[in-house]
Amino acid sequence: MLGTRAFGARLRGHGYGFFSGVPCSYLTSLIDWAASECAYVGAVNEGDAVAHCAGAWLGGTKAVVLMQNSGLTNALSPLTSLNPVFGIPVLGFVSLRVGTPEEPQHEVMGRATTGLLDAIGLPWAFLATEAAEAARQLAEADVRIAIGESFFFVVRKDTFDAYVPNAAPLPRRAPVPWSARARAVSRHPPRRADALRTLAEVRGPRTVVVTTTGYTSREMYALADDDANFYMVGSLGCVSALALGLALVRPDVLVVAVDGDGALLLRLGALATNGTYGPANLLHLLLDNACHESTGAQPTVAGNVEFVALAVACGMTRAFDVADVADLRARVDAWQRRPEPTFIHLRTAVGTAAPLVRPAVAPPDAQERFRRHLARIADRS
């Protein structure tokens, strides 16, 4: 068995300071160590955990994701359409639940885990249970991380020894009253482009913007391209999870996550994580046109969802329905002057700004310039 404390110390020695994951009994000790000794976010799903780690890495902190192999498929979206596309590395630990006796739900994924990692081109190794060999493996994995490649360790049963956790309880916020009220509705909802232009105009020098995949990122690039923008392609639904990871490791930066209704509905659990861990420097802006516009404007179920009520119920201390860009401007400005965990919902009209182009900056270049911008903010602080 590996000594959990000693192995954890090696992780920290290599600079890994942020952890996120969904539990597995095979990883209990390592997760408990991370929650007790480091920054740890208990994710509601494995894809969000990968996105949390991606955000932390953008902010300058090396990150580790932990998961059970039955949840590996949930992480495939960011592992294939976010991390390798942008050159954002993550060090992963995934359990191997296979053989007998074992729970029947692990039978298929137990056989498929290593083949699935091979299929998506993600290098991996079985984590050794001997300390010196595990240290050598970790050093080799860290070389890959340094060049922007991810690496996963496959962890078998009884790899880590027992660890007695001393983690603080999860943060809890005082409940915010919510009463049924009329939604903020405009007969002439603004275009998404109007909202994005307003956001670009009102943001201050410490504010960065992370935009969801699809037309939102493409319009933000066309209207107000800036080093302070991160245009997230792929990994639908993960934008606020990425923004949360970034906001947690960079309290000196104000982070706006611009989401879409279809994307948020896909990973609605992110609201709960944001409400629990969400720091004051995180603003989650939902632009809701009630459809998946970039794929043909197929309708979403957003019209039956009280997003602001959900955000309040999940612990966001400020949550607003806004009807127009003037109200949006005022709310964003107020948040920048006095940050609190904030959610804003704005209904927008269907339709794109013309001409709508794809970002000319390649994803790896986009993340590099975004990280340089974050470094300049740190230098000015």
Tell me how far the alpha carbon of residue 124 is from its chain's centroid: 22
In the prediction, which pLDDT does 100 show? 64
Domain holding 265, by residue range, is 192-380
Quote the pLDDT of residue 184: 60
Q: Is residue 121 domain-shared with residue 218, that is, in the same domain?
A: no
Residue found by looking up tokens 């939604």 in the block = 183
pLDDT tens digits along 180-193: 444 566 678 999 99
- CB-CB contact of 66 with 4 (8 Å): no
pLDDT at 250: 98
pLDDT value, residue 180: 47
Residue 181 resides in a domain? no
What is the rounded distance in angstroms from the CA atom of residue 245 to the CA atom of residue 360? 26
Looking at the structure, tell me whether residues 312 and 265 fall in a common domain: yes
Shared domain check, 221 and 98: no
Q: Which residues pair with 65 in a beta bridge?
A: 20, 92
Q: Return the amino acid letter for 91.
A: L
Number of structural domains, the chain? 2
Same domain, 131 and 264: no
In a shared domain, residues 265 and 118: no
Q: What pLDDT shows up at residue 278?
A: 86
Residue 308 in tokens: 């602001």
Q: What is the pLDDT of residue 163?
A: 95
Q: Does one domain contain both 133 and 227?
A: no
| Residue 162 counted as domain residue | no
Please report the pLDDT score of residue 42 as a whole number: 97
In a domain, 242, yes or no: yes
Domain boundary at 137, 155, 173, which?
155
Has residue 165 been placed in a domain?
A: no
- Report if residue 187 sits inside a domain: no
Residue where a domain terminates, one of 97, 127, 155: 155
The verdict on 208 and 340 lying in the same domain is yes
**Residues 137 and 53 both lie in one domain:** yes
Segment (H or E) for 378: helix 363-380
The whole-number pLDDT of residue 175 equals 65
pLDDT of residue 185: 62
CA gap 112, 107 in Å, rounded? 9
Parts of the chain with a pLDDT under 50:
180-182
Residue 170's pLDDT is what?
84
Q: Is residue 178 part of a domain?
A: no
**31 shares a domain with 147:** yes
What is the per-residue pLDDT for 109? 86
Dump the DSSP string for 149-161.
--EEEEE-TT-B-
DSSP one-letter code for 269: T
Same domain, 224 and 128: no
Question: 121 in a domain, yes or no?
Answer: yes
Question: Residue 141 sits in a domain of what CATH number?
Answer: 3.40.50.970
Specify the pLDDT at position 178.
Answer: 61
3-state secondary structure (DSSP) of residue 113: helix
Q: Are residues 218 and 282 in the same domain?
A: yes
Question: Which of 134, 155, 176 is at the close of a domain?
Answer: 155
Give yes or no: residues 232 and 328 share one domain.
yes
In a domain, 346, yes or no: yes
Q: Who contacts 346 (Cβ-Cβ below 8 Å, separation ≥6)?
A: 189, 190, 195, 285, 286, 287, 288, 321, 322, 323, 328
